[in-house]
Amino acid sequence: MSDFLGLLRRMGILRKYVFLMLLRSPFDALRTWMLANLLKTTFQCLETTDADGLFTVCMIYGLLCALLFFYNGTVWGIYAAFSAKLEAGLQKAMIRNMMSMPYKQVESHLSGEWVTKINSDIQEACMMMNGPLHIPHAVVAVINMILSSFLMCRSSFLLFCITWLLMMPHLFLNAHIVLKAVPRLKEASQKAMAESTSAIKPLITEADTILLYDAGDLMMQKCEESSLKLMKVNQNMHRRKALSSAVLRLFGCGGYFVVLMIGYRFILDGSMSFADVVYCLQVRVAILSGMFMFITSINNIKTKLVCVRRIESV
């Protein structure tokens, strides 16, 4: 992340970026708290047949929900304008630096590599800053998990421990299989994309010369080889991410049934009400969704940091 922070400092937008992150970060945590309390209060009103109380609860939480989403939409509107200016400024700075380089340094790289850096790498870097399931959602997920864990721990420490215990296999899998390999595969993918672009470019710019020397088959074979190389690297990345997603689904559903059965025992013992069990299930969903969002965001961030380093080299 040091390369990313250095890039923001040189562009003079680090403080503004952090400020926008802080504005966006409490949304999911507040929504979790609001929905969990809404469900709990609603079921308590249903158990006591309090129709007037149920109407009041729905009105209050409906208003809070509208205010929360209005706040979130306002923040994202400001953030979208900031992101558009950032991408345009980054492309101008990249081209300006390239134009000031010595001719020998420019010629030492493939033309497709320069095209990839100006277009693909900058788009990927900006996606890391503002895209879905990247840095903004990683920050949101951490705050949401902290608040959700606190709420569930207060309601039932045993259910809290079970929830996190069943999440450990997924965390272990991502840390030792997915997270370590994805940056290396992404770098290989970017290099393969540059080679593919360089192989395709002569078919457009030097078409007459290729026809004159009857080199069409040779050039098409080179394009096919570079495209297959790019496809294999991308397939490897997708397999690892699919394995991570499958494990999350497996332990997510299994954990739901475990919490439900233990909650059923608590209801029979009288130590918890049905509304309390529903509350814990809702908070558990927030913890799982936060963890899934955080892991996916970290995977994506590590992938995009490869592009940031390629931009930094210019």
Three-state DSSP at 39 gives helix
Q: What pLDDT score does 314 carry? A: 64
Q: What pLDDT score does 264 carry? A: 83
- Is residue 164 a contact partner of residue 148, using CB atoms and an 8 Å limit? no
Q: For each successive 10 residues of the chain (314 residues), what is the average pLDDT?
A: 72 80 82 83 78 80 86 82 78 76 66 64 74 79 86 84 80 68 71 73 72 73 79 80 72 76 83 82 83 79 73 68
Render 130-149 in DSSP notation, one character per residue: HSTTSHHHHHHHHHHHHHHH
Q: Give the C-alpha separation, 66 to 77, whole Å.
A: 16
Q: CA separation (Å) from 159 to 232, 247, 282? A: 43, 20, 12
Start-to-end Cα distance in the chain: 17
- Sign (positive or negative) of CA dihedral 187, 304, 172, 278: negative
Q: What pLDDT score does 167 carry? A: 77
Q: What pLDDT score does 105 carry? A: 67
| Number of helices and strands in the chain (H, E) | 14, 0
Q: Give the C-alpha separation, 135 to 8, whole Å.
A: 13
Radius of gyration of the chain (CA): 26
Delineate the domains of the chain, giving CATH numbers in brackets: 2-185+237-312 (1.20.1560.10)
Q: Give the C-alpha separation, 132 to 301, whole Å.
A: 11
Write the pLDDT tens digit of every residue in 224-245.
777 788 788 888 877 877 777 7
Measured torsion, CA atoms of residues 95, 100, 103, 105, in degrees rounded to the nearest 10: -80
Q: Which of 174, 189, 117, 192 is nearest to 297 (CA)?
A: 174
Tell me the whole-structure pTM to 2 decimals: 0.66
Q: Give the C-alpha separation, 109 to 113, whole Å.
A: 7
Token code pair at residue 207: 């078409």
